[in-house]
Chain A
Amino acid sequence: MSDIVNGIVQAVDLIVTFNPEVMQIAALSLYISLSATIIAALIAIPAGALIHFNDFFGKRAVIIVIQTLYSVPTVVVGLILYLLISRSGPLGVLGLLFTPQGMILGQTILIIPIMIGLVISALSGIDRGISDTLLSLGATQFQKIIEIVREARFAILSAVVIGFGRAIAEVGVAMMIGGNIRDHTRVLTTAITLETGMGKFPLSIALGIILLIIALIVVVVLNLITSALSADMQQIAGRGPNG
């Protein structure tokens, strides 16, 4: 019990004094997971729209595969990527192993399926009548898609937030691809694992609290961005082809 109380007291101290090591780890975590989230969102939103708005043979199967990949273990993604980017692997020349860039790639791969899947269900949640209404009002296919994505903006935001949550909270890829190298690839989760193993609970608790604070800040900021974004997209739709 005293460990926990002690830990929390020291954790607060580490945070309020902006302990350089703690801050460096937190910043790197944020940089890697946020980069992965942005890249994944840029791929997942168009990909989800592409799957949702087109009818093709095997669509159902594709969606089932995507949903299965929601639960792919982080260490499996780590293992496969490790084999691909290690020196002797097919992508070894890129030199991504044990780099933050490698970790970004790994987390992007990890969260793309859940983002695509949730984007598809966000778009499916929009009433079919909306699509017909937009077309009957003279929308081109492109204008229609923009408006439907805009209509689904809050559900799509949730998809992005959930993706970010999975990225910042995972250990497997960070450990196997990053290697937990101090000042280079050490992130919050790998640091917590290490410090806890060494019995340094206060640092672990401090890092855990920071992880939650980061999550809070990111969610708030993404919410603000969505509101602004909906105004922008309206202009894009107005300027669409044939528009």
Chain B
Amino acid sequence: MIRIEHLTRAFGIKEVLRDITLDIRKGEIFTLIGPSGSGKSTLIRLIDLLDSPSSGKIFFDGADTAGPEKDRLAIRRRMSMVFQKPAVLNTTVAENVAFGLKFRGVPAKEAEEKVRFALNLVGLADLYGRKAVTLSGGEMQRVALARAMVTEPEVLLLDEPTANLDPVSSEMIEDLIVRINKRFGTTMVMSTHDMVQGQRLADRIGVIMDGRLAQVGSSSEIFYQPKGRQIARFVGIDAITGGRVIENKGGHALIRVGETCFEALTPIPGGKRVSLCIRPEDVTLTPSDSVSEKTSMRNRIVGRIKKIVPSGPFVRVTVDCGFPLIALITRRSCTDLGLSPGSMVIAGVKATAIHVLPDDGVA
């Protein structure tokens, strides 16, 4: 649907986006995730033709978008965009939703029907005549979504649509995004710095780091097999550095980190330096004095608990095994196991839960 080739965007000497090449498929939900300031919004604005690339090309449905303003307007009118901060104009909700139709010269009667339909879609039919500036943030964003959908766009762009909203409103918007995608087959490109949201909604994810498209793939690829330490960190993994592959037998490798040996699955041959990515929720903890039970865990490492930090219904336990290993367990199991800072534990990790990254200068 949208093809981006070697796109670069610089403001002055600062390159905000560098050599982005990306294909967005018809009908999919594609999320762009990355830290704030990584260039997500700039890329989405470029796709909506609100800005022009410094170099490189964007194709919309096969057509080059670098034409005269008249052609760009025609292409822009096949898309819609929802912004992070919903900007409503100082008039009624209905008129706000009707803008796209007004600009396209849709007759008033037909426009009114469409506006009612769009407001119904987002569940705000009774706010039809209300002054838009009196709405709450969540309602404004739903109006923005209705306003974007009323023109029946082929592509809907969403720039961090829930970043300023409370959890309940966010969930409502997320729900609408998925429903609209299913019902109308609208291609969606959404940016977010919330990786969990990205994972929840997306068919495919693109990770933007420092202006570069660092990895594109399904959510399990991004979350379990990140292509670099920086991405790993962003998706919630603190990689363990300084490992070295000791031997590798048909993909089953033995990796030494400090005093500890890990078993992991990787094609990386012996002798290479590597980092290990272990998702904190894949680490189990047992008190060191407990009787060793039978387990499929290949890796059992003894360590001392350094700190315990609560995180919602979970706690993040940092275990010092010569290197810090982080486990995410429920509060209840933390209490049941009687864990406290200073106590010794055995950390268990399955060989299949370890993602091995080569240390080849890729940060």
Contacts and interface: CB of A to CB of B under 8 A. Distances in A.
Same complex: yes
Interface of A: 127, 129-130, 132-141, 143, 147, 151, 234, 237-240, 242-243
Interface of B: 45, 48, 50, 69-70, 73, 76-77, 79-81, 83, 85, 87, 89-90, 95, 99-100, 102-105, 144, 147-148, 151, 157
Nearest to A128: B87
B99 A137 contact: yes
A132 B105 contact: no
A147 B96 CA distance: 11
A147 B89 contact: yes
Contact of B151 (A133, A135, A137, A140): A137
Contact of A129 (B80, B83, B105): B83
11 contacts: A129-B85, A129-B87, A130-B89, A132-B50, A132-B81, A133-B81, A133-B144, A136-B50, A136-B80, A143-B103, A243-B102
A140 B87 CA distance: 18
A212 B131 CA distance: 35
Nearest to B95: A234
A141 B147 CA distance: 19
Contact of A140 (B45, B50, B95, B103): B103
A136 B81 CA distance: 6
Contact of B73 (A129, A132, A138, A239): A138
User: Chain A interface mostly helix, strand, loop or mixed?
Assistant: helix
A135 B103 CA distance: 10
A139 B87 contact: no
A52 B180 CA distance: 38
A35 to B, nearest CB: 31
Contacts of B85: 129
Contact of A136 (B69, B76, B89): B76
Nearest to B111: A238
Contacts of B80: 136-137
A238 B102 contact: yes
A134 B76 CA distance: 11
A170 B326 CA distance: 76
Contacts of B99: 134, 137, 139, 147
The 6 closest A-B pairs by CB, nearest first: A129-B87, A136-B81, A138-B77, A137-B100, A243-B105, A133-B87
Contacts of B102: 234, 237-238, 243
A135 B77 CA distance: 9
Nearest to A132: B50
Among A130, A135, A143, A147, residue most surrounded by chain B Cβ atoms (within 10 Å)? A135
Given A129-B83, A140-B73, A243-B104, A135 B50 contact: yes
B89 A243 contact: no
A234 B101 CA distance: 13
B155 to A, nearest CB: 11
A135 B76 contact: yes
A137 B150 CA distance: 10
A137 B103 contact: yes
Contacts of A242: 70, 73
A242 B45 CA distance: 22
